[in-house]
Amino acid sequence: MDSSFSRLNICTVCFLFVLATIGEGGRLLVIPQDGSHWLSMRAVVEKLSERGHEIVVVAPEVNLLFKESKYYTKMTYSVPYTPDDFAERFRLFSDQPFDEVPFLSMVVGAFKTMMYLLEMLFVNCESLLRNREIMRSLEESTFDALFTDPALPCGVILAEHLSIPSVYFFRGFPCGLENAITKCPDPVSYAPRCYSRYTDHMTFIQRLVNLFISFLETPLFKILYTRYQEIASELLKREVHLPTLYRNGSVWLLRYDFVLEYPRPVMPNMVFIGGINCEEGKRLSQEFEAIVNASGEHGIVVFSLGSMVSEIPMKKAMEIAAALGTIPQTVLWRYTGEVPSNLANNTRLVKWLPQNDLLAHPKARAFITHAGSHGIYEGICNAVPMVLMPLFGDQMDNAVRMESRGAGVTLNVLEMTSKDLSDALKAVIYDKTYKENIKRLSELHLDRPIHPLDLAVHWVEFVMKHKGAPHLRPAAHDLNWVQYHSIDVIAFLLAVVLIVLYISLECCLFCFRKCGWKKGRLNKKSKSKSQ
Amino acid sequence: MDSSFSRLNICTVCFLFVLATIGEGGRLLVIPQDGSHWLSMRAVVEKLSERGHEIVVVAPEVNLLFKESKYYTKMTYSVPYTPDDFAERFRLFSDQPFDEVPFLSMVVGAFKTMMYLLEMLFVNCESLLRNREIMRSLEESTFDALFTDPALPCGVILAEHLSIPSVYFFRGFPCGLENAITKCPDPVSYAPRCYSRYTDHMTFIQRLVNLFISFLETPLFKILYTRYQEIASELLKREVHLPTLYRNGSVWLLRYDFVLEYPRPVMPNMVFIGGINCEEGKRLSQEFEAIVNASGEHGIVVFSLGSMVSEIPMKKAMEIAAALGTIPQTVLWRYTGEVPSNLANNTRLVKWLPQNDLLAHPKARAFITHAGSHGIYEGICNAVPMVLMPLFGDQMDNAVRMESRGAGVTLNVLEMTSKDLSDALKAVIYDKTYKENIKRLSELHLDRPIHPLDLAVHWVEFVMKHKGAPHLRPAAHDLNWVQYHSIDVIAFLLAVVLIVLYISLECCLFCFRKCGWKKGRLNKKSKSKSQ
């Protein structure tokens, strides 16, 4: 083993050397998205800064999470709305899942509040691209690359305008538009479409619906991005096709891991960094340590519906509180709303909780989560079985994935009763299969040759150093739809086959007529002779 | 930078810890292929052995490269041919590319000698699977995984028989059969088929031919593997479908890198370890150091047609010797045949050369190679422009790839004249673009987060530890051809559309008849009234 260890050390020294040489300071422009999108992207930015790169983060002056930082220079631009407007739009968006209305109204409501929020985010982009001062400053600076969350295309447009290579970092588009953009095959037969709540094993009807949902992808892209296309055309002073701009992204850092996602085709310029947000559990503060220790042998349940949800209707809160009272575990519930009057003794409401550190604690027995991707990965990393209450976005699909792997129970937050939640909690805590399944997923997830954070840093530096990653760009981008699907080739072959068939048929007919005619003539002759 | 370095160190310690915990000795069964296939697989086996795993390599008693080793236990089985038979079949195979015969005869000849060689390799497999003593010994042993080169399916069959997970390690099947097996989409419009000599940018006619070649993949699979299917059915005592057995491979370690291969869709259980054979250049022996130093400012040219080719026809050898004499560089030519009488003073014939170490020397100016994948990657790693003389197998395609990237010139070894070789050598040595291009490819290739050897070791250990990698298995394997392509869903939709159209048409006709009839009756009535 000594010799093996020394070889390993040499290899590690090489690895360190490579990282060290890459780390010679470059300049990186960052165009992020606000909210949870920024959380793990910030970790990459901080690590890049530590490695000697100079980083400029461009953000709207009214925002949720873009704080001043020693790791980067923050450049803000003014926006035509107040912090109150901003908070109100987010509040409407996060309240909407709790509206008890018929299904169709719920869908329409969800779409409306989403578009209302997206409208503001478009205004952000417009404000940046029309801000002469900032744009001039960016044009006059030199950046090695642009690092952006491409969920909305402001960074994509800016990279084109500034003619710099870009790296995308994100969770995925609605309905896997990244597959359409990267020309990544996306088989509708076993790759479930977003919001479908299907797994990778679908019935005939589910495959049919999945196909229908896939038809909605292009219109959805148009609804979401047409206005960006217009503003891009204005800035770039030419007709712009947004998917073509998107294709210029050198590397797609996707927060996917195949213990959560269903395996399916991918492209060489997609790098998977799911679980990038999982850190090793840190020691708890005295306050939380005391609560956890007091939980005794029963341990704790961690409960959070994410930073977006601060309040839920009192009726629902009371149902939840009642359910939490039925288990012997101590429940730590992150909740900033009004305290439900029936809150049991085992439940502690807190305004904030160190979610990952609590989940990493050996006493963690279950995790009640809204199934946001950050939380899900923290649950996986720490092998804590989950009760999933998806609210919006990709959360429904995340929840289905965890449930289909036997690592959690999904509840419909609107329809669930107190008993449903109580049963679900007891199941994931006392039915050993949930714990075994999440432990297996956790082991698979954590057994990786390099930490996702280092992988992300590597690829950003790669693009900075080599001015892109052209060797990973598939030639598919140079083909049109007809060529890509070989329709012209197949049509040509069909035409040849038809022509050959036609000529053969004509020849046969000709021969037949010839023979028939001769026979006819012979018959005539023989008839005339016999007459 | 200090803080960055300390964070990096912590991360590296974690990485070491993960590797160290994985490295707790397991037992690995290795079923390799002989010849160059074994070269880089051996490096992985040796590293796994160093990390404390117990390794058993099963090989035929008559072989090329399976030597005794301190790294593994070699288990040999007898075969019904002599070393002379063995050498003769290899000789015929390696001599065939130099036969000066018409194209069609050449194709038939190549196919015949290939089948003649494959016949012997089938006999190997048969001898192993019917060797009761060895089979009993393997059945009674416990292995954590089977590590095999699946170019021929002996290891694949054995893994199924022993019910152990397997890891595949190889360069690729003829005609990308690995894509058909792994259900990896393989777009015929920009993924050139093997032996086509096309790039990823094809004309209409090339795409047509590419489609035709793709039609040959299934018959080729049948020609190559039907006999294995029969022997597998005999061993497993049930009807066996070989592609289904192949699908049980947990991880495919593919010696691909996208600086050489054209980017195209891949699957999550494909791990790319192209360039695994490139080591850092070691110090040359005194003999070679002296030759290289004596080359002066002009430097050296390294020339090898691989270990398979020991002799070439004298006429061709003299043409080559004449060409080599036209450049001022010292040429080191690995050649064991008769010395050409016109050998110039600048050319040194050697029976063996330290290829990678010579290419790594700053005086290396060009590399004349048969375009085998090992050599090509050594050329890329060391950034030496190439003159490519492909002989058989994937070498034609490798050569096209290097040439299409502007890093080499391809020659047809049969048709080339002395002047062609001389011109090609002068081009790659004196035209700076070749050096610039190979340097760029080299930088892209070497800038990776982890060395391919460590990556390969990681994934073998992963499969050993977790008894496979089921989370990377796509659900596509559970669909039949019709379901996978959604043909049933599309047919259903078409049927619905046709039925709706038919009913609508019938309704219209009914209404029309009704109206027409009424009108008709009215007309009749009016007529009868008017009469």
CA A411 → CA A340, A368, A417, A418, A422, distances in Å?
A: 20, 10, 9, 11, 11
User: For residues A93 and A113, is the Cβ–Cβ distance under 8 A?
Assistant: yes
Among the ranges given (A437-441, B3-7, B229-233, B270-274), the one the predictor scored with the smallest mean pLDDT = B3-7
Confidence band (pLDDT; 50, 70, 90) for B194? confident
CA atoms of B20 and B2, how far apart (whole Å): 26
Give the pairing of strands A347-350 and A330-334.
parallel
The values of phi and psi at residue B237, to 5°, are: 55, 40
Answer yes or no: is pLDDT of B365 > 60. yes
Q: What is the pLDDT of residue A424?
A: 98
A474 and chain B: CB distance < 8 Å anywhere? yes
Answer yes or no: is pLDDT of B467 > 60. yes
Q: Do A473 and B263 touch (CB under 8 A)?
A: yes
ipTM associated with this complex = 0.90
Q: Which helix (H) or strand (E) holds B358?
A: helix B355-359
A278 and chain B: CB distance < 8 Å anywhere? no
Identify the burial level of B280 via C-beta atoms within 10 angstroms of its C-beta, where 0-12 means exposed, 13-18 middle and 19 or more buried.
Answer: exposed
Q: Do B483 and A4 touch (CB under 8 A)?
A: no
User: For residues A93 and A118, is the Cβ–Cβ distance under 8 A?
Assistant: no
Q: What is the pLDDT of residue B48?
A: 98
A441 and chain B: CB distance < 8 Å anywhere? yes
Q: What is the pLDDT of residue B13?
A: 40
CA A58 → CA A42, A124, A125, distances in Å?
A: 13, 11, 11
A50 and chain B: CB distance < 8 Å anywhere? yes
Q: What is the pLDDT of residue A306?
A: 85
Q: Which two tokens stand for residue B459?
A: 């994934």
DSSP string, B309-336: -----HHHHHHHHHHHTTSSSEEEEE--
A187 and chain B: CB distance < 8 Å anywhere? yes
Confidence band (pLDDT; 50, 70, 90) for B430? very high
B279 and chain A: CB distance < 8 Å anywhere? no
Q: Do A23 and B4 touch (CB under 8 A)?
A: yes
Distance from CA of B181 to the nearest CA of A (A): 13
Q: What is the pLDDT of residue A380?
A: 97
Distance from CA of A509 to the nearest CA of B (A): 31
In sequence order, what are the residues at sequence separation of 6 or more whose Cβ sits closer than 8 angstroms to the Cβ of residue B478? A190, A201
Q: What is the pLDDT of residue B220?
A: 83
CA atoms of A331 and B279, how far apart (whole Å): 55
Where are chain B's structural domains?
Answer: 23-82+121-276+451-478, 286-446, 490-517
Of the candidates B469, B385, B372, the one whose C-alpha atom is nearest the C-alpha of residue B433 is: B385
Question: Considering only CB atoms, which chain B residues are within 8 Å of A186?
Answer: none
Of the candidates A394, A366, A354, A386, the one whose C-alpha atom is nearest the C-alpha of residue A255 is: A394
Which neighbouring-strand residues pair with A266? B266
User: For residues A230 and A451, is the Cβ–Cβ distance under 8 A?
Assistant: no
Of B185, B444, B449, the CB nearest to A471: B444
Q: What is the pLDDT of residue A223?
A: 85
DSSP string, A208-257: HHHHHHHHTHHHHHHHHHHHHHHHHHHHHTS---HHHHHTTEEEEEE---
Of the candidates A263, A291, A289, A260, the one whose C-alpha atom is nearest the C-alpha of residue A277 is: A260
Answer yes or no: is pLDDT of B528 > 60. no
**Greater pLDDT, A428 or B195:** A428
B19 and chain A: CB distance < 8 Å anywhere? yes
Widest CA span of chain B, in angstroms? 126
Q: Do A211 and B11 touch (CB under 8 A)?
A: no
CATH C-level class of B23-82+121-276+451-478: alpha beta
Question: CATH topology of B23-82+121-276+451-478 equal to that of B286-446?
Answer: yes
Question: Which residue pairs from B417-420 have beta carbons closer than 8 angstroms and sit at least 24 positions apart in sequence?
Answer: B417/B319, B418/B319, B418/B320, B418/B322, B418/B323, B419/B323, B420/B323
One-letter-per-residue 3-state SS of B38-80 = HHHHHHHHHHHHHCCCEEEEEEECCCCCCCCECCEEEEEECCC
State pTM to two decimals: 0.90
Positions of chain A with pLDDT under 50: 1-23
Q: Which two tokens stand for residue B506?
A: 């019938």
CA atoms of B515 and B521, how far apart (whole Å): 10
- CATH architecture, range A26-278+452-474: 3-Layer(aba) Sandwich (3.40)
CATH C-level class of B286-446: alpha beta
B262 and chain A: CB distance < 8 Å anywhere? yes
CA A518 → CA A525, B217, B225, distances in Å?
A: 10, 49, 55
CA atoms of B255 and B43, how far apart (whole Å): 13
Q: What is the pLDDT of residue A210?
A: 95
| pLDDT tens-digit series, residues B25-77 | 899 999 999 888 898 899 999 999 999 999 999 999 999 889 999 999 999 99
Chain A 479-518, residues with CB within 8 Å of chain B CB atoms: 479, 483-486, 488-490, 492-493
